[in-house]
């Protein structure tokens, strides 16, 4: 429930952030639009500025004293604002599409207010696309007339250009916060799944620990109910059962400890020289009774020459044991296991195939995750801890190798291992 609340809270926060940024950008847009209209309407706050402090003044200081024409601003492809300079006066001219010049106004050197006003019109003249009666802006009776503001309907994109920095900030802020929330939600979701897997593991482990303890307890109670010396055979059987269950309990504890070391990075791989065929035969030999009990047939295909690798013999033995044991546990009534080995370039390829119950496609991607268990029920009733295949994957990766699986439900599975020969 807490994870769902966290996800809803993050989604709501993103919505509120989007609304806030939208309002901020809208206000910025309106402010930029008013600012552009204000400049074009010649609402000059400081009309006493000197000519040399204006943009036009800077431009005039860098032109020749002789009569010449300088292009100042382009409004459209067929409209240009030009400045003609002379020693006596400065004149603003419009050049239309026919190339004819038309006098707009004259600027007298002592007209400080008028010069400041001219600076405003030139600054944003390129936004005045389509305005044919620009000369009205030079008449003093239009200054400060707010009704004139409605005449200047700027293009939407022209105004956006003025607030592009605001847009960039808004997009970056929303993207960063959004990605942060997504990553946080994924981490929370992973933690939820891991918690569930650990709970399942603890439940399975509790069951597996109780089973051998209960068996030992029953055996000892049975021994106490009769004369040990009179029935030595029965006593021997009960003691053997107890010893077997204690051994199983010890192996279970060792498996959990090995898993913990592997996960914490404390377990280091040795570099033993191993003949892989001999290692496989050794594991098969140790499992002979289990294979016979299940009535399993086992087929091997090995190269004639010995295949050697450098690796940790103990852990690789456990890897093979886990995979063959799984092939037996999840088998049908007549198990058949095929083990094939190939040496390809500088690596070995080992395949362990069975004709068991197989793995449903929707669970294949998770079988190498820690604590993961394919749901039982109609599929199987085998107990486990969800550690075996995770352990196998960790060992192989520490050897520079990898493992994959091909499986089809009710037809069997094939696990493929690749390990560098110089691992």
Position with higher pLDDT, 177 vs 381: 177
Contact indicator for 312, 267 with CB cutoff of 8 Å: no
For residue 12, pLDDT beyond 80: yes
Position with higher pLDDT, 61 vs 189: 189
382 band by pLDDT with thresholds 50, 70 and 90: low
The residues spanned by each domain of the chain are 63-139, 195-264, 272-420
CATH number, domain 195-264: 1.10.287.130
Q: Residue 351's pLDDT is what?
A: 96
294 band by pLDDT with thresholds 50, 70 and 90: confident
Q: What's the CATH fold of domain 272-420?
A: Heat Shock Protein 90 (3.30.565)
Q: Residue 413's pLDDT is what?
A: 93
For residue 162, pLDDT beyond 90: no
Least confident of 132-146, 256-270, 400-414: 132-146
Least confident of 194-208, 361-375, 407-421: 194-208
- Secondary structure (H, E, C), 23-74: HHHHHHHHHHHHHHHHHHCCCCCCCCCCHHHCHHHHHHCCCCCCCEEEEEEE
Q: Residue 53's pLDDT is what?
A: 34
pTM: 0.48
Q: Residue 362's pLDDT is what?
A: 87
Q: Residue 299's pLDDT is what?
A: 93
For residue 102, pLDDT beyond 80: no
Per-residue pLDDT, averaged over 376-394, amounts to: 66
DSSP structure class, residue 102: E
For residue 114, pLDDT beyond 80: no
Gap between the Cα atoms of 70 and 60, Å rounded = 10
Q: Which of 406, 419, 295, 292 is nearest to 359 (CA)?
A: 406
Give CB contacts under 8 A, 24+ apart, made by 242-250.
Answer: 242/215, 242/216, 245/211, 245/212, 245/213, 245/215, 245/216, 245/219, 246/212, 246/216, 248/212, 249/209, 249/212, 249/213
Per-residue pLDDT, averaged over 45-49, amounts to: 32
In terms of average pLDDT, the best of 13-27, 79-93, 106-120, 198-212 is: 13-27
275 band by pLDDT with thresholds 50, 70 and 90: very high
Task: Please write the tens of the pLDDT for every residue from 184-233.
Answer: 888 888 888 777 766 666 665 665 667 667 777 877 777 777 665 677 77
167 band by pLDDT with thresholds 50, 70 and 90: very high
Please list, in sequence order, all residues whose beta carbon lies within 8 angstroms of the beta carbon of residue 352, skipping any fewer than 6 positions away: 320, 323, 324, 327, 337, 338, 339, 414, 415, 417
Gap between the Cα atoms of 73 and 94, Å rounded = 11
For residue 149, pLDDT beyond 70: no
Per-residue pLDDT, averaged over 134-155, amounts to: 44
Q: Residue 155's pLDDT is what?
A: 72
Q: Residue 200's pLDDT is what?
A: 63
138 band by pLDDT with thresholds 50, 70 and 90: very low
418 band by pLDDT with thresholds 50, 70 and 90: very high
Q: Which of 319, 353, 356 is nearest to 337 (CA)?
A: 353
340 band by pLDDT with thresholds 50, 70 and 90: very high
For residue 371, pLDDT beyond 60: yes
Beta-sheet pairing, 101-107 with 336-344: unpaired
Q: Residue 234's pLDDT is what?
A: 77
| Average pLDDT over all residues of the chain | 69
């Amino acid at each position: 429930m807490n994870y769902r609340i966290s996800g809803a809270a993050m989604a709501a926060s993103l919505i509120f952030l989007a609304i806030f940024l939208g309002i901020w950008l809208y206000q910025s847009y309106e402010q930029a639009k008013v600012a552009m209209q204000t400049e074009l309407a010649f609402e000059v706050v400081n009309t006493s500025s000197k000519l040399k402090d204006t943009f036009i003044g800077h431009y005039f200081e860098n032109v020749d004293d002789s009569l010449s024409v300088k292009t100042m601003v382009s409004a459209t492809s067929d409209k240009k604002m030009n400045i003609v300079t002379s020693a006596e006066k400065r004149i603003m001219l419009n050049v239309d599409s026919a190339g004819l010049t038309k006098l707009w106004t004259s600027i007298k050197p002592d007209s400080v207010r008028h010069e400041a006003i001219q600076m405003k019109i030139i600054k944003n003249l390129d936004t005045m696309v389509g305005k044919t009666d620009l000369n009205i802006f030079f008449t003093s009776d239009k200054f400060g007339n707010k009704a004139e503001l409605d005449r200047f309907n700027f293009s939407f994109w022209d105004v956006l250009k003025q607030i592009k920095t605001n847009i960039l900030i808004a997009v970056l802020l929303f993207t960063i916060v959004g990605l942060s929330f997504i990553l946080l939600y994924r981490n929370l979701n992973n933690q939820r799944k891991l918690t569930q897997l650990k709970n399942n593991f603890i439940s399975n482990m509790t069951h597996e620990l109780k089973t051998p303890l209960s068996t030992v307890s029953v055996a000892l109670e049975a021994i106490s109910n009769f004369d040990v010396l009179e029935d030595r055979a029965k006593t021997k059987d009960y003691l053997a059962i107890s010893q077997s269950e204690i051994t199983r309990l010890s192996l279970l504890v060792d498996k959990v400890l090995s898993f913990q070391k592997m996960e914490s990075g404390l377990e280091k791989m040795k570099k033993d020289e191993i003949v892989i065929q001999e290692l496989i035969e050794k594991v098969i030999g140790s499992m002979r009774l289990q294979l016979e009990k299940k009535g399993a047939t086992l087929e091997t295909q090995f190269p004639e020459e010995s295949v050697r690798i450098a690796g940790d013999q103990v852990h690789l033995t456990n890897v093979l044991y886990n995979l063959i044991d799984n092939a037996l546990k999840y088998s049908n009534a007549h198990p058949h296991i095929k083990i094939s080995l190939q040496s390809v370039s500088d690596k070995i390829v080992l395949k362990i195939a069975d004709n068991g119950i197989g793995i449903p496609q929707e669970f294949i991607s998770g079988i190498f995750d820690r604590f993961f268990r394919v749901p039982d029920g109609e599929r199987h009733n085998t107990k486990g801890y969800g550690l075996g295949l995770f352990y196998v994957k960790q060992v192989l990766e520490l050897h520079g190798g990898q493992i994959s699986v091909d499986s089809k439900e009710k037809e069997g599975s094939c696990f493929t291992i690749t390990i560098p020969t110089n691992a």
